[in-house]
Structure 1
């Protein structure tokens, strides 16, 4: 890793509510200390704050100060803020979500956070909430409408400019059925936004888990990595019928899933990727698996630094075995 790069954990391993139903967001410094302390106990010294758990943009000034104090006391740096499922083009809520994103950027800057991470994905549908794994049920889709896409560009550019003005990178997460839903559409979106501090979060795990035909992960990464400025890493075991009649997936460690991160991390290094790495995991002991994945990634980075060899990226559309 470069001196700037860090390995973070997500907050998926922590409950969003206390046993008595109090939201973690409202629980205060003592409970926040317990959460960051547990992350530190498994070896993390940095975390991505997710607004599913704590919404810095909705904290009072004193509570925001408490959160910063807790980070310092536990030795766990708050390096990114992930605002999720608050699309700025969501029907009926787009303007409200835009204002919330602006508050979140200001709060992130106050906390010394470096990356404002967001995307265009929307809240879970009822079918997704009922499913064991939400990606097995259909979610909302961005419309094939040039005017709405242009609205997305305009509002995301507005947020990117705000982020730049307070010293933050902004990263847009690749997520199915949004204007960041494929490599080509995601790249076109950030090119239209046209700001140096706005890049992509190439979370290809969001795509390989889908129960449908998906693009080859190698080709997707080959296209996305040159535009990446922040990175969620997770992996899935994936299987599919040769005749295309069924697909299945389940979360795995980085090492054991269908994506070969030994290859992908080499490609990222070849391209000079300098962003942070955030470990993500759904299901089971999420925090424990994130810690396992951290150690795996640390080993990969050390091995590649010692070898001094980096594999070149494959040529586009090269024939590959799945």
Structure 2
């Protein structure tokens, strides 16, 4: 399990709960990139996170690729985060699969840069996944998960390549004192609870675990395992956790399945129960609250406060 820093005990008041930056696009209104923003521009964005009540941030690379900042600019970014009074428990990557048929080699090299940058900014874990860029059809949809996206190659040799490359990243991460977490996502090698557990077992490193993002699966308009069954299979391997929730309605007479994003306490996943299950299994990692649609940051803040209410009030030893 990944630890969360020098603290020796966690409770509902100090458990790290980060804001995901998925509400912020990788392109600014004028068409420029956050990569090229001034430190003041970053500070204005980060102030939104502070104003929403967060003390932790996950600089998700769909917003800003800290791994591709020069050393000088990475220092600028660290200064912005420190001035805002924030810490970075983890760094999440998105849509950069190390077995992408076209860009896999490039994304593997990028993954190594992410690890080094994450160590520099004081993170404890880096989140990787095998999900790929959205297709044009997914980009046009109201909710991208309602449209079929890329599917990982069922060839065992590609699975084994993914295992080898993940192990390579895990070994690098161990050298700089970090953990690796693997995000569950449909139609990838982490697309079911069973395959996710198997994949971590195949990698076989103590510092490589799962990001059991159950929301990525319960939102699908297709049959999926009950969230509790998935949790039982994946939580023993969890070392970082993207949390979000959805309504889910299934009409057995027609086969119609519909879902929609909602705050954590209103959705089909009972996070009060799931969090208790995880902690009983030894989970001591940080949480990262997410939400798609509307003011995602504010809903993420609502999710943070829900977590504060349900996390243990009595200290839990790390």
| TM-score, reference length from structure 1 | 0.92
1:154 aligns to 2:164 (yes or no): yes
Separation of aligned partners in 2, 1:15 and 1:130: 16
Report Cα offsets for 1:69-96 as digits up to 9, x if no partner.
1011000112211111111111121111
Separation of aligned partners in 2, 1:19 and 1:174: 31
1:55 aligns to 2:82 (yes or no): no
Separation of aligned partners in 1, 2:44 and 2:80: 9
Separation of aligned partners in 1, 2:245 and 2:194: 22
Tell me which residue corresponds to 2:10: 2
Contact 1:213–1:244 under 8 Å retained in 2: no
RMSD of the TM alignment (CA)? 1.5
**Structure 2 gap ranges (5+):** 1-8
Separation of aligned partners in 1, 2:243 and 2:196: 17
SS for the counterpart of 1:185 is: helix
Aligned residue runs from structure 1 range 92-103, under 5 A = 92-103=102-113
1:252 aligns to 2:270 (yes or no): no
Separation of aligned partners in 1, 2:312 and 2:237: 24
Q: CA deviation at 1:265?
A: 1.0
1:285 aligns to 2:313 (yes or no): no
1:21 aligns to 2:22 (yes or no): no
Q: CA deviation at 1:18?
A: 2.5
Separation of aligned partners in 2, 1:291 and 1:26: 28
Report Cα offsets for 1:203-255 as digits up to 9, x if no partner.
00000000111111010001111110000000001111113521111100000
Tell me which residue corresponds to 2:275: 265
SS for the counterpart of 1:78 is: coil
Separation of aligned partners in 2, 1:167 and 1:79: 13
Q: CA deviation at 1:5?
A: 3.7
**Structure 1 gap ranges (5+):** 309-322
1:229 aligns to 2:239 (yes or no): yes
Report Cα offsets for 1:93-134 as digits up to 9, x if no partner.
111110011111111111112111111111001111110000
Task: Give every structure 1 segment of 4 or more consecutive aligned residues whose post-TM-superposition deviation is greater than 6 Å.
Answer: none
Aligned length: 306
Separation of aligned partners in 2, 1:294 and 1:80: 16
SS for the counterpart of 1:50 is: coil
Question: Comparing 32-41 with 220-229, which one deviates more in the overlay?
Answer: 32-41
Separation of aligned partners in 1, 2:66 and 2:279: 32
Q: CA deviation at 1:16?
A: 3.0
